Amino acid sequence: MPKTAYVRTKPHLNIGTMGHVDHGKTTLTAAITKVLAERGTEGGTVFVPFDRIDRAPEEAARGITINIAHVEYETDTRHYAHVDMPGHADYVKNMVTGAAQLDGAILVVSALDGIMPQTAEHVLLARQVGVDHIVVALNKADAVDDGEDTVLTDLVELEVRELLSAHGYGGDSVPVVRVSGLRALEGDARWTAAIEALLDAVDTYVPIPERYLDAPFLLPVENVLTITGRGTVVTGAVERGTIRVGDRVEVLGAGLDTVVTGLETFGKPMEEAQAGDNVALLLRGVPRDSVRRGHVVAAPGSVVPRRRFTAQVYVLSAREGGRTTAVSSGYRPQFYIRTADVVGDVDLGEAAVARPGDTVAMAVELGREVPLEPGLGFAIREGGRTVGAGTVTSVS
Ligand SMILES: Nc1nc2c(ncn2[C@@H]2O[C@H](COP(=O)(O)OP(=O)(O)OP(=O)(O)O)[C@@H](O)[C@H]2O)c(=O)[nH]1
Ligand SMILES: [Mg+2]
């Protein structure tokens, strides 16, 4: 049976859940799909249960999210692709990849625990990779529900607003909604209404971003899969431009020229994908092993990958989970740029050293070429933790 084609009836946005490990991101994601599936919006949302979101066997066994999971849902006014990001410190690099393409994020904070290290780290990284709007879900509100405890929840809310303001998110005006993903999943009416309120906040607070539809096509590869009998498929969010079946593209990083022979979003074929869409591209004659996460699919000749750039970088303080000691020229950490993870040599020039907490200018030479442009955000990591966050200022 032919699959039903994707029909674009509402604006599409990419959002996601982020926040500290175990604060309830995956539970909330499942609850959102449940509430919307039951609301029965035209076009439809399919309920995705918790264990289908945390789906790799290793993740299910450990009960933590390692990889990024995508789900799709629709409110009355919008179509959303939602990425559920991991909270555990070891998987922050996966979170960075997921956040790199978000129009807005739901910051999940447990009302029981308040701000924890990855709450702060995710806010900082979200800012750095260009997530402009955050809505807060103060989760597990069911567990702190009476008398004195509201005072504690009020304090957590205040603390979250301060954290957001400190990172330029205008904490006073950010919507903070008290929810219980767990109780909503169980069908409790009060907490179902709270999820509705959260979705209304997302619908109204996260604006429809300006899409660069006229720019040449570009898609950072998030994942690569093989479809038996058909070929190699790459997935990711279209950063700019549009693409149709039959269009020529190049795969930067793999050094390949090819043609798009199939186009889908969430399993539904589509005629044309545009900036912001989360898609799968079937590529003609591309061997599975030649393409990797971090490569970029682009209109032929539209981007020239580079190795050298200058940047403005914030070196995280020890309190933010960063280094305890300064770095100097010759430092060689990993750079997370779009979906790529590349080693780079740092030259601090005159400044010579950068201490935790400093903002410095640096010149970087990457171990391999990637598409770069001024304004592009990136993260710097070392030994499994984030040590810096920066923005490209010039490319040479
Ligand atoms: N009381 C209560 N418990 C909750 C709620 N939401 C989640 N939990 C519990 O908190 C634990 C963690 O929930 P998850 O949804 O896996 O948390 P997570 O943020 O996705 O965790 P990672 O992906 O590993 O970072 C589970 O035991 C949930 O049942 C809630 O609203 N209320
Ligand atoms: Mg999770």
Rounded distance, CA 107 to CA 202, Å? 11
> What was the pLDDT predicted at 1?
40
- Residue 288: burial class (beta carbons within 10 Å; 0-12, 13-18, 19+): exposed
26 known ligand binder: yes
Residues 197-217: tens digit of each pLDDT: 999 999 999 999 888 888 999
CATH of 305-395, one of 1.10.10.10, 3.40.50.720, 2.40.30.10, 3.40.50.2030: 2.40.30.10
Closest residue (by CA) to atom 30 of ligand 1? 140
Low-confidence stretches of the chain (pLDDT beneath 70): 1-3, 41-43, 54-68, 90-94, 96-98, 100, 145-149
**CA distances from residue 394 to 217, 240, 306, 307, 334 in whole angstroms, order as listed:** 22, 20, 11, 12, 19
- The second-level CATH assignment, the architecture, of 218-298 is Beta Barrel (2.40)
What is the fold of 12-205? Rossmann fold (3.40.50)
Which single residue is written with the structure tokens 């039959």? Answer: 246
Sequence-separated (6 or more) residues with CB below 8 Å from residue 158: none
Asked if the domains 12-205 and 305-395 are classified in one and the same CATH topology, the answer is no
C-alpha distances in Å from residue 16, one per residue of 12, 25, 105, 154, 257: 13, 9, 5, 24, 32
Q: What ranges in 167-277 are assigned the alpha helix state H?
A: 181-185, 189-205
Where do we find the tokens 């129009």? 103
Distance 211 CA to ligand 2 centre (A): 29
Tens of pLDDT, residue by residue over 248-290, are 999 999 999 999 999 998 888 998 999 989 899 999 999 989 9
- The finding on whether 139 has its CB within 6 A of some atom of ligand 1 is yes
pLDDT for residue 267:
83
Cβ–ligand 1 contact at 25 (below 6 Å):
yes
pLDDT of the residue at 351: 73
Q: Where are the domains of the chain?
A: 12-205, 218-298, 305-395
CA R_g for the chain = 21
141 in a known ligand binding site: yes
Identify which of 182, 185, 190 to mutate to test ligand 1's pocket (most ligand atoms within 8 A of the CB). Answer: 182
Taking the CA of residue 180 as reference, the ligand 1 atom at the shortest distance is 31
CA distance 229 to 23: 42
